[in-house]
Structure formats: structure tokens, C-alpha cells
Amino acid sequence: MQRKHFESDHEDYRGTVREFLAREVEPRYLQWEEDRLIDRASYVAAGRSGIIGLGVPEEFGGSGVTDYRFRHVVSEEIARTGTTSFGSTLSLQDDITIPYILHLGTPAQKERWLPRMAAGELIGAIAMTEPGAGSDLQGVKTTAVRDGDEWVINGQKTFITNGIHSDLVIVVCRTDPNASSKGFSLIVVERDTPGFSRGRKLHKVGLAAQDTAELVFENVRVPAENVLGTEGRGFIHLMENLPLERIGIAVGAITAARAAYEWTKSYAFERKAFGRPIGDLQNSRFVLAEMLTEIEVTESHIDRCVIALNAGDLTAVDASKAKWWATELQKRVVDLGVQLHGGYGFMMEYPIGRAYVDTRIQTIYGGTTEIMKEIIGRAIASEFR
């Protein structure tokens, strides 16, 4: 079945992305994985090629693209090349940190940060998770206390993507300890601010090159104008941005699943056992048939969600459905791919082996599968109240 999701402009852009990855990322990627850190120069190269900062308006140096299908193309090409750590970092920049600045920032904040973010010179991060607060954000203990024209921040964050490279961090802080969910604010902390330090670069199971770190805030003073959005509405701001974050993860999941299927299909008809390609064995054919069918059905749903996102109609519930289903499917497809590769599937020199360790986090970050089901379940229950 031919997909009608992309138009000629998207396919033209695909060539740009493919050429960029072949020139700047693929030759260096395995070294980045070994170093457990992506070369910062690659972000600047991505900025020059129009691969990063797509949604930043032209007045701030970006491409001004509001059609998420262009980001979808980037995700497909990254999945095809197996450069997952690089793709995850781009997704954080384009699907999370830039939209927060774009949608919540003051004119001065946008002018200050967006041009360099679109150029790949300024790397963003968002600091939500703490040692004792993951999916339950109301458990956040990092505090920000107003002192004249400044906020004083104290606390610790963990599992922060881009924690090492980040030049600005959007920190979820408790600014009113007595206001429950209305007591949170988003405050931007910039690199080299006194009292702001980075802890360990965390050694993860997968996504080796994507830097993840602990962040520590000890009497960090930032100007009052670094509040992002409205004071006390931080929790609401987070909820408002989650549909984009979660559909970004869902797109990454289905594109990765498609890539894993393509690698496995090719291998199955190259590898011979019992005198014929293993793809001619009934069990292998059945597995490939299951993979392809589930992928195509899911692609149709994700494509609809992307169009809804473009139209401003994607709900948090629909994004949650897409996120949990696509990421769980990714896990199944990659696991089946490893099985059909046999022993070679367990080798990190094969992209399916790297995909196996990179995939596991997908059903956890951005909200676990269980949290996604709870969101959907609450929406169902609300129909009877």
C-alpha cells in the first residue's frame, strides 16, 4: 500500500537530510557511540543544512516550517541510518526545548535564544525528572525562591538529556510550596551560572552517544526575566507541550520499527540455512508478515496524528495512544528482528543489535506506557461523570 503522507516538497527535503547524514553523521557515528558523546560541531552543521530549528520563524534565523511532516522526514532518514542517538538529541531540540521558547517566551527571550538554537550553536535541555520524581511531576522538590529581582534555585535533577552539552536548561521548579499543581514554574538557567553544575554523565544501556547527566543547583541566582511563561503555571505549560513531545517519540518509534523491518527483511533473504534463504522458511515469512502488517497499520495512525498536529487538533489523549502503541510495537519488531538475525543480531556492529539496546527506553521516557494508559483510561471514565 502506497502512503500519501508526503508531498514533493517533503521528498525534495529528504534528499537534503540524506546528504547531510551521509556527510556529517554516518562517518563519525560509531566513534561518537564509543566516546559516549556527540561532537558539538555536528549541531552547527545541522543548522547550516536546515536540519535543526525547523519550527523557528525566519525572523529568528530558522526555516519557519510549521508542517511537522518535515520533522517526520528527518526521523525516517535517521532511523534508516541507525544513528539513533543523534536523532534523539535533535528531537529534544526541535520537539521540546525550541517549542517551549517559541510558545512561552517573551519577545526579548526569543530574540536572545532562538537564533542561536536554530543555528545549532545553543543546545537546550529540559530538567523535569529528579531522583525521587519521575512520571509524577508533582513530586518535584527543586525550589525557586524570589529574592528581589532574582530567583534562587536549589535542587537536583537526573536523567537529563543533553545534560552535558546544554547551554540553557528549562528547569521545573516549585515556586509556591503551598499551591499544589499551581505552585510550579519554568525557569531558564544558562551555562556557567554560578552554583549550576553538572554531575555524572550517566552510562546508559543504550543511546550511548546521547549525553545524559545529573544536574545540581546550589543557590543558583537567575534574573526574574528568565521565568518562561507565567509564574505558577509551569505544570500547565508542561501539559500543553506534551502532545508534541509524545507524537515526536511516536514518530521516532514507528520510523525505527520500519527501519528494523527493512534490515531484517534484507538479511532474511541473504542468509541461507538448510540450503535456502531463511526468508523462504514459513516461520520467517510469518514473522515478516506480522511485522509489516503491524507497521503499516501503525504508520496510518501516526500519519493521521501528524496531520492533526499540523491542524492544531491533536489531543493529549490521542498523543498518548500513539506514544504507547508505537513504542511497544517498536520493541516487538526490533526483538523479532534480532531473533531472525540469530547470533549476528546480538553483535553491535549490526544496526539491529544497536537498535535493540536503543529501543528499550522508548516506553519509559516522555511518560511510561502505564502513564499513557492511565491518561486514556481517565478520559474514558470521564464520559460517565
Q: Where are the domains of the chain?
A: 8-122, 125-232, 235-382
The Cα 2–Cα 110 span in angstroms is 40
Percent over 70 (pLDDT), the chain: 99
Residues 249, 323: contact at Cβ < 8 Å? yes
Q: Residue 36: left if φ>0, alpha if ψ -120 to 50, beta else—which one?
A: left
* CATH top class, domain 235-382: mainly alpha
Torsions phi, psi of 162, nearest 5? 65, 20
Q: Is 233 left (phi over 0), alpha (psi -120 to 50) or beta?
A: alpha
> What is the rounded distance in angstroms from the CA atom of residue 102 to the CA atom of residue 189?
17
The predicted model gives 64-90 an average pLDDT of 96
CB 352 within 8 A of CB 345: yes
pLDDT at 2: 62
How confident is the model over 322-346, as a mean pLDDT? Answer: 97
Is residue 50's pLDDT more than 90? yes
**pLDDT at residue 134 in the model:** 66
**Amino acid of residue 104:** L
Q: Which fold has domain 8-122?
A: Butyryl-Coa Dehydrogenase, subunit A; domain 1 (1.10.540)
Please report which confidence band the pLDDT of residue 3 belongs to, taking 50, 70 and 90 as the band edges.
confident
The β-bridge partners of 227 are 187
For residue 136, what pLDDT band results from cuts at 50, 70 and 90? low
Q: For the chain, how far is it from start to end, CA to CA, in angstroms? A: 42
Q: What average pLDDT does the structure give for the chain?
A: 95
List, by residue number, the catalytic residues. 245
Is the pLDDT at 287 greater than 70, yes or no? yes
Q: How many CB atoms lie within 10 A of CB 348?
A: 13
Q: pLDDT at residue 178 above 90? A: no
pLDDT, residue 82, reads 97
Q: Is the predicted pLDDT of residue 242 greater than 90, yes or no?
A: no
| Strand 150-161, strand 272-273: pairing | unpaired
In this prediction, residues 137-150 reach a mean pLDDT of 90
* DSSP string across 248-311: HHHHHHHHHHHHHHHHHHHHHTT-EETTEEGGGSHHHHHHHHHHHHHHHHHHHHHHHHHHHHHT
Cα(273)–Cα(192) distance, integer angstroms: 59
State the pLDDT at residue 355. 97
Considering only residues 302 and 137, tell me which one the structure prediction assigns the higher pLDDT.
Answer: 302
Q: Domain 125-232, what architecture?
A: Beta Barrel (2.40)
Return the closest-CA partner of residue 53 out of 38, 34, 74. Answer: 74
